[in-house]
């Protein structure tokens, strides 16, 4: 059967076709099979509002590499895909869509709005999953999940009620992040901290009953309306005399105490801080320690409320301007300093968020965090790289209670009901019939929904059927590896780990494989505002998914950011072409005949060398993959395929392939095909499409490379001696090529090559490898001998350990022609030197010409002088 591939590699022509075939054959699907060991990954669910970006492409390429590798190793590999309902982001999108139609969401009401949102989800929510297929993601799409599907919603409800009944979920007034535009609490994950230019306002607070005052520096003067104390460090000698006294709160003219608390940094600002418990998380904790009042001065849209006196109704920044102006008038503004500081903004609408106190639903975290801390210490959970252990532990050991309620409609509604008569709170799956406290029968469900992270915290087990004790949960859980970026360790990873222990008694995964961000070529984070984002789909359309994947993994080290250069994508595409052309060359030489197994003893030294190389490569790459060193593994693959296999071995065997009489041709073809297949298998997790197309064409023993066996080290393929022998000859070939390059000898010019060595072992090596050594060394004949007898005096040489390689000069160069060429070059250089010297000795030119032009001519003088010296030396040698 004739086996061949198209002349040129066209990814567009094969990628979609192959992906459809994989889907139809159910290669991605995994069922419970107790005879196999499971290997499970859950996909970090992308938002339904999202479109594929480089971060997604990297994250999913890494997961796909791991799952394809494990599948080939014989594991029952399951990669569960899914999407997140992205509560705030989706609500904003649908609200804006309604606005364009002139509809206010409040007019639709909750049910009408949710109906529209589900319609939006059905129309646009699958965009990112179809895009993930374009990069070759081999997920089990039959098991695709959504954080608001029936099963996940059931899990969310179960967890809320369980944690509430156990006393971990409570309602309380604490500091939260508030978005004045979206009018909802938001999680820390949704707050982006940006460095912004601002000011430090130094404000004088008069000490009650005296003419003295203390100065406080603040970046948010408007919050002083809610100040309930000033604080100093108890060890600060400057302020010992005012601890326990009162100061007058400027503009409000009420007395507030001066307290001592170790929270105050003596080195920062003036060493005196204003305490506003309702508008700062640290102040909130100080306030609790000292029983201070909590005075919220802002409404939900960030205007000043009734607690702000005459500033009531003003926007927060308008109030700031007026207050600063009035402080100045009253002589209470000591100074204003320029100050850059981190400002939290909502990642969706870019509004500056306000920390403020609100009645919300919270999860008590201290006890729940303990098993998650212990997991790392016992080794039940490991981070790759290990340095992220500190980040994880630092967050857990300083964890605060988690605010889980959101003031939006899209999401899991809180299963809490309030008695309309006595306001008793009842948490249950259904609306109660009777109030257990007063016997009333009318209830109102809590209006809030749950934080999106509440449902995604359950993702590793809710996707496998929990809270039901399903066979899938028993077999595939705990999962094996979580692949994610370092930017969401706290928000998601930690919540999954403590949720796993709280609800299943186990860590949801044993390894967290952390990758960095994909940055632009200048090292900047890709963003809409900078306009430096690169669309992965455009890269795929132009270069193919394999080239994109290969680029994202090459040079990638766990936890490190990477820079994305288009030149690197082109290099990856060139590598794909190299693999394609080498494969095509091999197939063309197979002559439509079936390449049969050969006795290893019939292989030549060159065959054994490359077989031994690919054998060791399989062991090394397996070790790298197990350590998650995917970038190191792929670099080794690249070097082996491009250099050792294509540039060396294929060139070595060409004389045997072109000689029908050569008895070793069969061995050469078997080796070519075998090493190519091994290389394709090792490359498959990284470049799934091109490897599948070549693999299914060149052999028919295995139906798809996806379900073929992963290469393992074989002792019978270990040929240390032949490896050493071929490496010696490669060194000699490099030496020959270097000498010829220095002498500008074209590859087409053949010359006799003498290998001179006292070593019997070396002589035997070169005699055995004469055929390919002659071909690679551009030799008309190879003579291996013990001494210099018969070698002309003018022969040029190159030295390798224990041997010297000679080439007769006259065979390399036509002396008469070379002298003639060099004479012409000398005449040309003489003219150039005369011109340059003339200009540099011309006072008129030197005084009037720009400095850059003079420097250019000086550089030319140096260059032409050096060239002239080389030409004259070469002429002298030739004439001798």
**pLDDT tens-digit readout, 17-50:** 999 999 999 999 999 999 999 999 999 999 999 8
User: 176 pLDDT exceeds 60?
Assistant: yes
Mean pLDDT of the 515-521 span: 87
pLDDT in tens, 398-437: 888 999 999 999 999 999 999 999 999 999 999 999 999 9
Read off the pTM.
0.86
Give the confidence band of 187 by pLDDT, cuts at 50, 70, 90. Answer: confident
801 pLDDT tier (thresholds 50, 70, 90): confident
Q: Residue 727's pLDDT is what?
A: 93
- In angstroms, the CA 216 to CA 24 distance is 70
For the ranges 12-16, 429-433, 526-530, 680-684, the maximum mean pLDDT occurs at 680-684
Could you tell me if 515 and 58 are in contact, meaning their C-beta atoms sit under 8 angstroms apart?
yes
Which residue spans of the chain are classified as CATH 3.90.740.10? 184-355
Asked if pLDDT for residue 877 goes beyond 80, the answer is no
- Residue-level pLDDT at 2: 54
Q: What is the pLDDT of residue 810?
A: 78
Q: What is the mean pLDDT of residues 140-148?
A: 97
Pairing of strands 509-515, 191-206: unpaired
Ranges for all domains in the chain classified under CATH 1.10.730.10: 545-718
Residues 103, 104, 105, 107: what is their CA dihedral angle, to the nearest 10 degrees? -90
Strands 803-807 and 751-756: antiparallel
Do 231 and 213 contact (CB within 8 A), yes or no? Answer: no
Domain with CATH 3.30.2320 in the chain: 723-813
- Given pLDDT bands bounded at 50, 70 and 90, which one contains residue 811? confident
More confident call, 584 vs 186: 584
How many CB atoms sit inside 10 A of residue 796's CB? Answer: 18
Q: Residue 573 in contact with residue 636, Cβ under 8 Å?
A: no
Would you state the pLDDT for residue 325?
Answer: 96
The CATH architecture that domain 816-879 belongs to is Orthogonal Bundle (1.10)
pLDDT for 184 beyond 70: yes
Query: For 750-800, how does the pLDDT look when each residue is reduced to its tens digit (9 = 90+)?
Result: 999 999 999 999 999 999 888 889 988 999 999 999 998 888 877 888 888
Residues contacting residue 346 through CB under 8 Å, at least 6 positions apart: 179, 181, 182, 186, 190, 191, 192, 353
pLDDT value, residue 772 = 86
Among 874, 576, 561, smallest CA distance to 743 is for: 874
Q: What is residue 197's predicted lDDT score, i.e. its pLDDT? A: 83
What is the chain's length? 880
Cα(594)–Cα(240) distance, rounded to whole angstroms? 94
Q: pLDDT-derived band of residue 1, with 50, 70 and 90 as boundaries? A: very low
Residues contacting residue 456 through CB under 8 Å, at least 6 positions apart: 45, 84, 147, 492, 495, 496
Half-sphere exposure of 640 (CA within 13 A, CB side): 25
For residues 802-828, give the mean pLDDT: 83
Fold (topology level) of 723-813: hypothetical protein PF0899 fold (3.30.2320)
Q: According to the 3-state scheme, what is the secondary structure of 120-162?
A: HHHHHCCHHHHHHHHCCCCCCHHHCEECCCHHHHHHHHHHHHH
CA–CA gap between residue 556 and residue 871 (Å, rounded): 47
* CA gap 303, 513 in Å, rounded: 44
CA separation for the pair 538, 316 (Å, rounded): 44
For residue 592, what pLDDT is reported?
52
For residue 16, what are the CA distances in angstroms to 21, 22, 346, 541?
9, 10, 38, 11
Half-sphere exposure of 52 (CA within 13 A, CB side): 22
* CA distances to 177, 211, 264 from 294, in Å: 16, 29, 19
Domain span(s) for CATH 1.10.287 in the chain: 816-879
**In the predicted model, what is the mean pLDDT of the chain?**
92
User: What is the fold of 545-718?
Assistant: Isoleucyl-tRNA Synthetase; Domain 1 (1.10.730)
Residues 474-482 have a mean pLDDT of 98
Distance CA 536, CA 541 (A): 9
In whole angstroms, how far apart are CA 273 and each of 5, 222, 430, 566, 787? 74, 15, 49, 51, 90
With a cut of 70, say whether residue 740 has pLDDT above it: yes
Q: Residues near 744 by Cβ (< 8 Å), separated by ≥ 6?
A: none
The secondary structure element, H or E, covering residue 476 is helix 471-476
Predicted confidence band at 361 (pLDDT cuts at 50, 70, 90)? very high
CB 409 within 8 A of CB 449: yes
pLDDT the model gives residue 845: 87
Q: What is the DSSP letter of 164?
A: H
**CATH homologous superfamily of domain 184-355?**
Valyl/Leucyl/Isoleucyl-tRNA synthetase, editing domain (3.90.740.10)
> Is 528 annotated as ligand-binding?
yes
**Contacts with 833 (C-beta within 8 Å, 6 or more apart), sequence order:** 861, 864, 865, 868
Percent of the chain with pLDDT over 70: 99
* pLDDT per residue as tens digits for the range 638-692: 999 999 999 999 999 999 998 888 889 999 999 999 999 999 999 999 999 999 9
pLDDT in tens, 439-474: 999 999 999 999 999 999 999 999 999 999 999 999
Name the phi and psi angles at 695, rounded to 5: -60, -45
Half-sphere exposure of 141 toward its Cβ, with a 13 Å CA cutoff? 16
């Amino acid at each position: 059967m004739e086996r061949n591939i198209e002349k040129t590699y066209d990814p567009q022509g094969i990628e979609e076709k192959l992906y459809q075939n994989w889907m139809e054959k159910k290669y991605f699907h995994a069922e419970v099979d107790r005879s196999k060991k499971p290997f499970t990954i859950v996909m970090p669910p992308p938002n339904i509002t999202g479109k594929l970006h480089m971060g997604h492409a990297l994250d999913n390429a890494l997961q796909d590499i791991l799952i394809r590798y494990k599948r080939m190793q014989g594991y029952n590999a399951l990669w569960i895909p899914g999407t997140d309902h992205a509560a705030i982001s989706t609500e904003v999108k649908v609200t804006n869509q309604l606005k364009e139609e002139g509809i206010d969401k409040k007019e639709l009401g909750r049910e009408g709005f949710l109906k529209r949102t589900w319609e939006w989800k059905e129309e646009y929510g699958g965009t990112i999953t179809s895009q993930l297929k374009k990069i070759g993601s081999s997920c089990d799409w039959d098991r695709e999940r959504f954080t608001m599907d029936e099963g996940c919603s059931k899990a969310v409800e179960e967890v809320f009620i369980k944690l509430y009944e156990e006393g971990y979920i409570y309602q309380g007034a604490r500091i939260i992040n508030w978005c004045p535009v979206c009018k909802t609490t938001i999680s820390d994950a949704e707050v982006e901290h940006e460095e912004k230019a601002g000011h430090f306002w130094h404000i004088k607070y008069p000490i009650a009953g005296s003419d003295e005052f203390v100065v406080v520096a603040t970046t948010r003067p408007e919050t002083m309306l809610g100040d309930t104390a000033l604080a100093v460090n108890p060890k600060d000698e400057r302020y010992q005399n005012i601890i326990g006294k009162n100061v007058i709160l400027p503009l409000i003219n009420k007395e507030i105490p001066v307290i001592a608390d170790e929270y105050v940094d003596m080195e920062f600002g003036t060493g005196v801080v204003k305490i506003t418990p309702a508008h700062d998380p640290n102040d909130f904790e100080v306030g609790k320690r000292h029983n201070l009042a909590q005075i919220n001065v802002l409404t939900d849209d960030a205007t000043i409320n009734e607690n702000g006196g005459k500033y009531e109704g003003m926007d927060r920044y308008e109030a700031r301007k007026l207050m600063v102006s009035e402080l100045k008038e009253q002589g209470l503004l000591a100074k204003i300093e320029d100050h850059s500081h981190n400002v939290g903004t909502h990642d969706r609408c870019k509004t500056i968020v306000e920390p403020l106190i609100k009645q919300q639903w919270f999860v008590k975290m201290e006890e729940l965090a303990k098993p998650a801390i212990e997991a790392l210490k016992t080794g039940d959970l490991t981070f790759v790289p290990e340095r992220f252990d500190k980040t994880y532990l630092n967050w857990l050991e300083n964890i605060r209670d988690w605010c889980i309620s959101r003031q939006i409609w899209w999401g899991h509604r809180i299963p809490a009901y309030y008695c309309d008569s006595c306001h008793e709170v009842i948490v249950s799956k259904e609306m109660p019939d009777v109030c257990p406290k007063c016997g009333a029968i009318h209830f109102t469900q809590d209006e809030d929904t749950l934080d999106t992270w509440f449902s995604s915290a359950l993702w590793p087990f809710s996707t496998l059927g929990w809270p039901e004790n399903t066979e899938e949960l028993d077999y595939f859980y705990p999962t094996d590896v979580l692949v994610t970026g370092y930017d969401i360790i706290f928000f998601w990873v930690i919540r999954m780990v403590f949720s796993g222990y709280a609800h299943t008694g186990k860590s949801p995964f044993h390894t967290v494989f952390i990758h960095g961000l994909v940055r632009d070529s200048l090292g900047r984070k890709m963003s809409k505002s900078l306009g430096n984002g690169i669309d992965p789909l455009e890269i795929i359309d132009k270069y193919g998914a394999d080239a994109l994947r290969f680029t994202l993994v090459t040079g990638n080290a766990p936890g490190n950011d990477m820079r994305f250069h288009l030149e690197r994508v082109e290099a990856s595409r060139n590598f794909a072409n190299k693999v394609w052309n080498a494969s095509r060359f091999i197939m063309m030489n197979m002559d439509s005949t079936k390449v049969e197994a050969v006795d290893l003893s019939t292989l030549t030294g060159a065959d054994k060398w490359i077989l031994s190389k690919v054998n060791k490569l399989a062991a090394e790459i397996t070790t790298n993959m197990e350590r998650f060193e995917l970038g190191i593994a792929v670099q080794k693959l690249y070097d082996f395929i491009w250099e050792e296999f294509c540039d060396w071995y294929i060139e070595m065997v060409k004389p045997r392939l072109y000689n029908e009489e050569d008895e070793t041709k069969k061995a050469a073809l078997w080796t070519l095909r075998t090493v190519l297949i091994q290389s394709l298998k090792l490359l498959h997790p990284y470049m799934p499409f091109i490897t599948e197309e070549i693999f299914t064409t060149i052999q028919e023993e295995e139906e798809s490379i996806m379900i073929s066996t992963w290469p393992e080290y074989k002792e019978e393929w270990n040929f240390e001696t032949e490896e050493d022998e071929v490496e010696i000859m490669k060194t000699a070939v490099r030496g020959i090529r270097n000498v010829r390059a220095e002498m500008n000898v074209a590859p087409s010019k053949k010359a006799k090559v003498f290998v001179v060595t006292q070593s019997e072992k070396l002589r035997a090596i070169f005699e055995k490898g004469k055929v390919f050594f002659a071909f690679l060394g551009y030799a008309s004949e190879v003579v291996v001998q013990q001494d210099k007898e018969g070698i002309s005096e003018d022969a040029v040489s190159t030295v390798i350990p224990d041997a010297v390689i000679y080439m007769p000069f006259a065979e390399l160069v036509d002396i008469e022609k070379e002298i003639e060429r060099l004479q012409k070059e000398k005449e040309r250089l003489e003219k150039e030197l005369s011109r340059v010297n003339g200009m540099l000795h011309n006072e008129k030119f030197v005084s009037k010409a720009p400095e850059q032009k003079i420097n250019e001519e000086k550089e030319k003088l140096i260059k032409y002088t050096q060239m002239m010296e080389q030409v004259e030396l070469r002429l002298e040698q030739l004439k001798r």
